[in-house]
């Protein structure tokens, strides 16, 4: 084990010990990370959420120069509630060449590798800076990253490449699907079910809206190109929740459903949302004709752009040079990489661990993957110390 890999192993234990489940604050972890980086001379700033219970952190080591590389990861993890763990999820346990604990794979393993490399970045006399971007609330819709990205754009002297360290087994991923989710609430008016013109049934009114979404899902399926890199090949749609009504013979006063779309890069997210809102306005007008107090409310829960492959992208070139991986690869989950790309940054996914271990009881990262992550950082240190372009 190299010294950097050993440091990453120790740091992983410290990071996992912070219970940063998305419902909790991440400030204790951010305090720990920020102090560590500031002690190395890093320039740091935070971007907090509205009630200041959580924060994003941006830190820079190296000269105030263009052409930097940004290493990004989220600090939050999914809950362990109801999962059957063989060991304490908040303490790293080693068994059979694997490190078990919540977040070891998704994605504190990458954070540990980046932080372990920070002292070497600081001592290397970099020709270009390395940026660290640690976010909150990725797991509930990539909610924290946009504000941080806006600040990075405003404050920095340019970033050539962004590496988002989601677990990809240290393979280079150049595309991911997006996220677009809604909660649709309908309020009608109760009446006897034999007197349909005396009220407005919220459940019945929900049907054309759900039907539209199903239709959009079929359109996304048909739109997939023959050479799609995704599995499944097309953007997907699910309606995961539906509630409403009180009895079979009463027009339902209320109904609610929630839908999640995972659009591919060629799907038009804005057009999809507008079609839903236009249909809702049409249905609401029909309900109001019988029940003036009727209404439909659409709450957008998440909107995360997909990551599209870039033609001759800086981040892809860099990641392939550091890993030796030249395969074409895409993933169907959503991530913050698309948000960085939308802001104008060349971006890829590349990090230690496998997504197959994420969100599971007994989540783990293979020690060999942590070593690969550390080796990636060592090669990046040498590159930033000698190159003037990524």
Q: Are 214 and 320 in contact (CB under 8 A)?
A: no
Pair (317, 352) in one structural domain: yes
Residue 390's pLDDT band (boundaries 50, 70, 90)? very low
> Any residues with CB less than 8 A from the CB of 271 and at least 6 apart, and which?
none
Pair (185, 286) in one structural domain: yes
Which DSSP symbol is given to 104? I
Name the domain boundary from 259, 289, 304. 304
User: Is the model's pLDDT at 127 over the cut of 60?
Assistant: yes
Residues 170, 167: Cα–Cα separation, whole Å: 7
User: Is the model's pLDDT at 32 over the cut of 70?
Assistant: yes
Segment 146-157 shows an average pLDDT of: 94
Residue 386's pLDDT band (boundaries 50, 70, 90)? confident
Set 19, 34, 76, 316: catalytic member: 76
Query: What total of structural domains would you count in the chain?
Result: 2
Question: Which of these, 213, 326, 208, 318, lies nearest to 263 by C-alpha position?
Answer: 213
User: Is the model's pLDDT at 389 over the cut of 50?
Assistant: no
Specify the pLDDT at position 231: 94
Give residue-wise pLDDT tens across range 354-366. 999 999 999 999 9
Name the domain boundary from 304, 323, 356. 304
Specify the pLDDT at position 157: 85
Residues 249, 354: Cα–Cα separation, whole Å: 51
Decide if 51 is catalytic. Answer: no
Give residue-wise pLDDT tens across range 324-348. 999 999 999 999 999 999 999 999 9
Decide if 76 is catalytic. Answer: yes
Pair (156, 26) in one structural domain: yes
User: Is the model's pLDDT at 218 over the cut of 70?
Assistant: yes
Specify the pLDDT at position 340: 98
Pair (381, 355) in one structural domain: yes
Question: What domain range includes position 166?
Answer: 3-175+305-386
Segment 61-77 shows an average pLDDT of: 95
Segment 159-178 shows an average pLDDT of: 98
Pair (100, 143) in one structural domain: yes
Per-residue CA distances from 204 to 213, 260, 283 (Å): 15, 21, 10
Annotate 162-222 with DSSP letters as a single string.
EEE--SBTT--B-EE--EEEEEEEEE-B--BTT-GGGSB-HHHHHHHHHHHHHHHHHHHHH
Specify the pLDDT at position 158: 85
Segment 133-146 shows an average pLDDT of: 96
Specify the pLDDT at position 377: 98
At 221, which CATH number?
3.30.70.360
Give the percent of the chain with pLDDT over 70: 99
User: Is the model's pLDDT at 296 over the cut of 90?
Assistant: yes
Q: Are 312 and 129 in contact (CB under 8 A)?
A: no
Pair (252, 342) in one structural domain: no
Residues 360, 231: Cα–Cα separation, whole Å: 21
User: Is the model's pLDDT at 74 over the cut of 60?
Assistant: yes
Name the domain boundary from 283, 304, 325. 304
Specify the pLDDT at position 213: 97
Specify the pLDDT at position 1: 64
Residues 167, 80, 34: CA angle, nearest 5 degrees = 60
Set 34, 106, 120, 138: catalytic member: 138
Segment 27-49 shows an average pLDDT of: 98
């Amino acid at each position: 084990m190299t010294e950097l890999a050993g440091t990453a192993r120790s740091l992983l234990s410290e990071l996992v010990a912070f219970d940063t489940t998305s419902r909790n604050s991440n400030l204790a972890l951010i305090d720990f990370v920020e102090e560590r980086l500031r002690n190395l001379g890093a320039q740091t700033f935070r971007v907090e959420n509205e009630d200041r219970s959580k924060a994003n952190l941006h830190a820079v080591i190296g000269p105030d120069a263009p052409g930097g590389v940004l290493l990004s990861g989220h600090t939050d993890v999914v809950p362990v509630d109801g999962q059957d763990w063989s060991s304490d999820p908040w303490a790293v346990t080693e068994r059979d060449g694997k490190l078990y604990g919540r977040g070891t794979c998704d994605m504190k393993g990458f954070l540990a590798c980046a932080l372990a490399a920070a002292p070497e970045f600081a001592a290397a006399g970099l020709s270009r800076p390395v940026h660290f971007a640690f976010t909150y609330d990725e797991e509930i819709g990539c909610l924290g990253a946009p504000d941080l990205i806006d600040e990075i754009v405003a404050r920095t002297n340019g970033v050539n490449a962004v590496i988002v360290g989601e677990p990809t087994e240290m393979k280079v991923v150049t595309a991911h699907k997006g996220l677009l989710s809604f909660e649709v609430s309908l309020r009608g008016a109760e009446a006897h079910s034999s007197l349909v013109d005396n009220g407005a049934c919220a459940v019945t009114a929900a049907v054309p809206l759900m039907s539209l979404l199903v239709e959009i899902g079929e359109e996304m399926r048909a739109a997939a190109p023959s050479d799609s890199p995704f599995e499944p090949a097309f953007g997907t749609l699910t309606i995961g929740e539906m509630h409403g009504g009180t009895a079979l013979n009463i027009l339902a006063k209320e109904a609610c459903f929630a839908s999640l779309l995972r659009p591919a890069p060629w799907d038009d997210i804005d057009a999809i949302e507008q079609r839903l809102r236009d249909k809702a306005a049409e249905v609401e007008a029909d309900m109001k004709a019988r029940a003036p107090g009727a209404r439909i409310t659409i709450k957008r829960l998440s909107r995360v752009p997909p990551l599209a492959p870039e033609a001759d992208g800086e981040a892809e070139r860099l990641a392939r040079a550091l890993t030796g991986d030249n395969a074409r690869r895409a993933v169907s989950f959503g991530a913050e990489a698309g948000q960085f790309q939308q802001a104008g940054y060349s971006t890829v996914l590349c990090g230690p661990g496998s997504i197959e271990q994420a969100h599971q009881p007994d989540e783990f990262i293979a020690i060999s993957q942590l070593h690969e992550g550390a080796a990636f950082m060592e090669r990046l240190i040498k590159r930033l110390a000698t190159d003037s372009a990524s």
